[in-house]
Structure 1
Amino acid sequence: MSIVKKCVLVSLVTGLLLSGCEKVIELKLDNSAPVLVIDGGISDQNENQVVKISRTNNFTEPNKFNGVSGAKVVVTRPNGSTVTYNEVSQGIYQSVKTRGVPGNMYVLNVTLEGKTYTASSTMPGRVVLDSLTFKQFNFFSTKDTYVAVNYNDPAAFQNQYRYILTVKGKIEEDMVSEDRFNNGNSVSDVIYYEVEDLGAGEKLDVEFQCIDRNVYRYFYSLGQNNGRGGPPVAPSNPVSNFNNGALGIFNAYTSSKRSVVIK
């Protein structure tokens, strides 16, 4: 048999195999019991602090906020005084205007259906976001523009940071970094969100948080699951600082905000 005929025969067989693979394979995905998710924090800003409480959805259900009502939500300060959060809408709990103090540890207790979920977080020292600038990079002959956050990292302590980029009221990037290689330096970290599609006059807002180590680990592992900073890893729940099997995070943080306008 000639090489040409062999190639034709292989092509025909391959085509038949591929056409046979067009059958829809039905996977049996077992639903799991809903798990409580608590997402909240306390900042150094005098504002209404917020805690969101929900339950996970089954795999086949729409991915929406499944808010949980009827919880008792209390934050305890270092001096033993407490702040009670009131439910303002389903699953959304809010405090009166209050603020945390850097260096202090805060404890969040959420009691629901006779079970209490507890997490603690220590608010780091405050680092100010100095400015936002644009940086351009050439990738495969294409010029891309990104926003960079600029600040001075203090050398005295280990620091972890969170950058939240908002465009038109929507969070577009939420990432974390540490000062492992930048301790004591002037830092200019790039947020890899392309701004080419935005027009002149569009505003970008960045919230710059100083966070504790456990909170950093949570958001870092969350980013790894989403493929940020490298190939996605096998999906798993980020390590929560809550006990009793709850998912989510309690974050005591300092906050600094800046905006930049595209020209």
Structure 2
Amino acid sequence: MKSHKSQHIHHQSPLIHHQSPLNLHKSSPNFHKSLLSFLPILFLFLFFGCERVIDVDLNESDPEIVIEGNLSYNDGELEVIISKTSSYFSTAPSEKVENALVYLVDDEETLVNAKHIGQGIYKVEDYIIRSGVEYSLHVEAEGREFVAKSTLHAPVKLDSLSYEYQNSSRFFDGGYRILLYFSDPPGEENFYRVKVHKNGELLNEVGDLIVFDDNRLDGKGIQVRLRGQLFDKGDTATVQLLTIDKNTWRYFTTFREMANLNPGSPAPANPSSNFSNGALGYFSAWSADEKEIIIE
């Protein structure tokens, strides 16, 4: 396989080990179901040996609004999903927020309303998105307004993909791991996210979340070894290199750190949302380059 002279990004990298992807052997919930706040747990105790149970206030806060907004340069589309957090003890799916007012504003203060599709989904399609522009997403729901801003950056070209065999271990069976290569544009601060599709299906567990920046890598060739699911012979891997802004990078970085906490660690705060007025979630304007490889 052709060698690449590039800076490596992987789990054991001493250079940016804090920015490397999560190991898959740690079980993790579905990514979208994880966009919930951490709520207190009920404590029951006995008083002086009595059998009477002392009631402790759960202090469960009112359900919070969760907004996932993606403005895709490649698709010319805005998709916003609005839901609510549920009780700590609830096993029901999160409640979707219907009939909200959702609109997008660009740097020229041009306003575009999103169409309500149903199931808490709102869309703007066939929208011309411009690089270097800061977009504002406005959501009015249940008597409150939430605003987030995100700047679209130009896509960074993916140079190539390759794969290598990963021997089996006590954590997982053997299989093929995907590697991607690209050159970071010099002289600017860049933030990235990687999305991977396996045989057409998006790998969307927390362990598949890959975000990093170009700190100490400015202008260099970069290799990223994907630490998510392994592939088998005959599988097709489709890899997207997303260029995101700093606020989006900060949100996913804190989200990943929370998901990677060891059992027994203190409950952290919510991920660093870029929405105003207490909404959870994020709004991200992004561009991407994409390549595909078949494991042979």
TM-score band (shorter)? 0.7 to 0.9
Structure 2 counterpart of 1:177: 212
Instruction: Give, in angstroms, the shift of residue 236 of structure 1.
Output: 2.5
Unaligned residue ranges in structure 1 (runs of 5+) = 1-25
The TM-score, its normalising length taken from structure 1, stands at 0.80
1:59 is aligned, of 76, 88, 91, to: 88
Aligned residues: 234
CA distance in structure 2 between the partners assigned to 1:256 and 1:54 by the alignment: 30
Q: CA RMSD in A?
A: 2.5
- Amino acid aligned to 1:188: Q
Q: Does the Cα contact within 8 Å between 2:184 and 2:222 map onto a contact in 1?
A: yes
Query: How far apart, in 1, do the equivalents of 2:158 and 2:95 lie?
Result: 34
In the TM superposition, 1:129-208 aligns within 5 A as 129-136=158-165, 145-168=176-199, 169-172=201-204, 173-195=208-230, 198-208=231-241
The one-letter amino acid paired with 1:242 is F
Partners of 1:232 and 1:137 in 2: CA distance: 31
1:201 is paired with a residue whose SS is: coil
Q: Distance in 1 between matches of 2:151 and 2:197?
A: 26
- Letter of the 1:204 counterpart: A
2:294 aligned with 1:261, yes or no?
Answer: yes
2:121 maps to 92
Which residue of 1 is the match for residue 67 of structure 2?
38
TM value normalised by structure 2? 0.72
Greater fraction strand:
1
Q: Which runs of 5+ in 2 are unaligned?
A: 1-41, 45-57
| Higher CA-based Rg | 1
Do 1:43 and 1:252's aligned partners in 2 also have CA atoms closer than 8 Å? yes
Higher mean Cα deviation, 142-151 or 171-180?
Answer: 142-151
CA contact (8 A) 2:76 2:129 kept: no
1:207-246 alignment to 2 at 5 Å? 207-227=240-260, 234-246=267-279
Percent identical pairs in the alignment equals 28
Specify the SS of the correspondent of 1:217: helix
